[in-house]
Structure 1
Amino acid sequence: MRTSDFNFKSPSNLLAKFPVKERDESRLMVIHRNSNKIEHRFFKNLHEYFEEEDSIILNNTKVFPAKLFGNKEKTEAKIEVFLLRELDIVDRTWDVLVDPARKVRVGNKLNFGSGITGEVIDNTTSRGRILQLNYNGTHKELIQKIKEIGKTPLPKYIERNPEKCDRIRYQTIYAKKEGSVAAPTAGLHFSKHLLKKLEIKGINIVEITLHLGLGSFLPVEVEDISKHKMDSEKCYISQESCKIINRTIQKKKKVCAVGTSSMRAIESSVSSNKNLNPFSGWTNKFIFPPYKFNIANCMITNFHMPKSTLIMMIAAFTGFDLIMKAYQIAIEKKYRFYSYGDVMLIL
């Protein structure tokens, strides 16, 4: 398939710039792949589609306040710096994106305040730089200071400054392991009340970790999908999580991946007998049609951007024609799109 096959027009008035008041009040589109039936519910109804001994897989990554604002030495020009990942703890070097990129060159020094400065030591892409941070304190103290001055890295389309509520709402309620620069958005809809309902019903809540970078959310820029390269992301799957999921598979119950990040994680560590293996490492798994999924037989996901790797994965799981029909219905019925938007359950 071609990248242009995944292009569609999502009306700007449907791009969710704020979350709904209550997490589980998001609208839920339920897609039945066997019958092509589509239902319209609310996320608080999710428990009705699961039974005892089913498993739901959550990505427990935690969003890092990765957006810093600094001033260039001498000119005082304001520079936005997006911390993508730490490259070396000792040298305190980071892979970053800068904006405006034309004003940031190798050798430039930036002042972020609170005793933190930085020097650009290399270029990576047109907007990418290697930045060495300087701070008169330990690494732990530096990270704590970054958390204090850093802003929640909201997606660009939201077009507003992060507010106090974003520190809470652009984070799942089960977030534990810090390391993502973007939220696993399908998980934003879970409330404590809904999780308790699922647990009482006897449904297994299984956690894995995949730290999201920005690569998954960017549009694919090559027409031949097979030539697209995913950014690598850190992933952890425990022995205990594998045990629960494999038992669910053996009992032929539902295994539900919450979000494309959870799906990518579990599909990155599959044994020859189609079970899940423990994993600790990096994955650049890119899933697009046609693809045979090995672990999950249902999934929860938000409504994604055109020509993104995310919509390509969802098409591989749902079927291209059915997912494109579902997206058209979502637009007609004014479902809210993207990170703070509504959600679908694909059975």
Structure 2
Amino acid sequence: MDTNSKASPLDLSSYDFRLDPSFIALNPPTNKEDSKLLVYERAKDKITHTTFKHLFDFLPKDYLIVMNDTKVIKARFFGFKNQKKYEIFFHKEIHSEKSKQAFLVQIKGKVKEDDLINIKEGLDVKILKLLDSGFREVEFIKEGKALELASVLSLLEDIGVIPLPPYIKREASAKDLLDYQSVFARNLGSVAAPTASLHFSDSMLTYLKKHYEYLFLTLHVGAGTFQPVQVENILEHKIHTESFFIDRQNLQKLKDSTKIACIGTTALRTLEFLHGCDYKLEQGECDIFLHPLNPPKKAKALLTNFHLPKSSLIMLVASMIGLEKTLELYELAKSKEYKFYSYGDGMLIL
């Protein structure tokens, strides 16, 4: 990682860094509260190395804590056509000209429109349209009828496998069913976990609810969260969109609050999107791209993990503390042997 002052916050290459595979957490910690936590206090330019069990020693008690209660779908599943096995990755419900009950999936293997992939007796995935990069518009057909979203999500809970991040090459285990969900996950819809939330134990959540004002919103995390930015001028990047939901009472609470700490980048992106539309939407598609030239205007603190190079997530971190400080803290984290990515350690920005 180049930490010199000439790095431009608009250049994609400025967000690239080398990370030895040994720094990437491939399994969750044995004890969530023992994960490392780097605390950066902006006003003092102060860095503290601690663990998650001490999070509340740093997080001010007068802050409103905003959490994302999305739940990860068992989005990977398998089917057969002409005795050939196909791996299918469910993404989300979409609007389609061909069906009122259409969904976006990725399929490994060649298919054509109108093909049927058999999932189990009486259940098929019908190919409606071929899109780029292996994406397909499909219907789930059961006994001749197209299934609605609620039925599809219920089905996936029965037949699917939890979708670990693409850099984790092992198969998901029974332990991942628990560890790749936050303790407050409740609304099915994500294909990736909001990873800062994974650090919370039941006892930490109980403490938070007792000593802080808090609220939940829902933003369903898409697979785009893992995609690196591809254009050298990051202003040309088209950010992925993700569906969000929040009730009217919590929307008003966000509007009225002046001290807000977000648990994870998904909570922060949703907050800033809602702020940008003057808190008028209770649901919609979040497409805000936060970077050093478009910093947060509402959030005062962020709990997050250490992210992939060239990702929109490391750019979001830089939107809060600047590119130079982000590079500095990532290098420091490596020198202190912090673990990176979804199952890794965390950073609290105050």
Confirm or deny: 8 A CA contact 2:73 2:156 kept in the other structure: no
Determine whether 1:263 maps to 2:268: yes
Q: Deviations over 1:180-236 (max 9, x none)?
A: 1111111111112112222333x1121111111111220011111111112221112
The structure-2 alpha-carbon separation of the partners of 1:192 and 1:7, relative to structure 1 and needing over 3 Å to count, comes to same
SS in 1 for 2:274: coil
Determine whether 1:207 maps to 2:213: no
1:316 deviates by: 0.9
Letter in 1 for 2:325: L
Q: Deviations over 1:96-131 (max 9, x none)?
A: 11224xx23334331222532122221221211112
Name the residue aligned to 1:191.
201
Determine whether 1:163 maps to 2:173: yes
1:88 deviates by: 6.0
Name the residue aligned to 2:239.
230
The structure-2 alpha-carbon separation of the partners of 1:94 and 1:149, relative to structure 1 and needing over 3 Å to count, comes to same
Distance 1:266 1:187 in 2: 16
1:276 deviates by: 4.7
Larger deviation, residues 329-338 vs 229-238: 229-238
Name the residue aligned to 1:296.
299
Letter in 2 for 1:212: V
Determine whether 1:23 maps to 2:28: no
Name the residue aligned to 2:310.
307
Query: Where in structure 1 are there 5+ consecutive unaligned residues?
Result: none
The structure-2 alpha-carbon separation of the partners of 1:199 and 1:17, relative to structure 1 and needing over 3 Å to count, comes to same
1:41 deviates by: 0.6
Name the residue aligned to 2:92.
85
Letter in 2 for 1:19: P
Confirm or deny: 8 A CA contact 1:237 1:280 kept in the other structure: yes
Name the residue aligned to 1:133.
140
Distance 1:271 1:309 in 2: 19
Over 6 Å off, 4+ runs: none
The structure-2 alpha-carbon separation of the partners of 1:114 and 1:323, relative to structure 1 and needing over 3 Å to count, comes to farther
Residue in structure 1 matching 2:59, options 50, 57, 61: 50
Residue in structure 2 matching 1:150, options 151, 157, 160: 160
Residue in structure 2 matching 1:117, options 124, 136, 142: 124
Distance 1:270 1:308 in 2: 23
1:10 deviates by: 1.4
TM-score norm. by structure 2 comes to 0.90
Q: What is the percentage of aligned positions where both structures have the same residue? A: 32
Letter in 2 for 1:173: V
Confirm or deny: 8 A CA contact 2:73 2:162 kept in the other structure: yes
Aligned length, in residue pairs: 336
1:271 deviates by: 5.9
Name the residue aligned to 2:7.
none
Letter in 2 for 1:187: S
Q: Deviations over 1:54-73 (max 9, x none)?
A: 111101111111111122x2
Q: Deviations over 1:85-104 (max 9, x none)?
A: 1236975421111224xx23
Confirm or deny: 8 A CA contact 1:29 1:344 kept in the other structure: yes
The structure-2 alpha-carbon separation of the partners of 1:168 and 1:5, relative to structure 1 and needing over 3 Å to count, comes to same
Distance 1:231 1:199 in 2: 32
Residue in structure 2 matching 1:175, options 172, 185, 189: 185
Distance 1:248 1:132 in 2: 43
The correspondence of residues 314-325 of structure 1 with structure 2, limited to 5 A, is 314-325=317-328
1:143 deviates by: 3.7
Letter in 1 for 2:196: A
Confirm or deny: 8 A CA contact 1:93 1:132 kept in the other structure: yes
1:48 deviates by: 0.7
Name the residue aligned to 2:4.
none
Distance 2:338 2:234 in 1: 27
Distance 1:312 1:15 in 2: 19
Q: Deviations over 1:27-79 (max 9, x none)?
A: 111112223321111111111113333111101111111111122x22x3322
SS in 1 for 2:129: strand
Query: Where in structure 2 are there 5+ consecutive unaligned residues?
Result: 1-9
- Structural RMSD (CA): 2.0
1:247 deviates by: 3.9
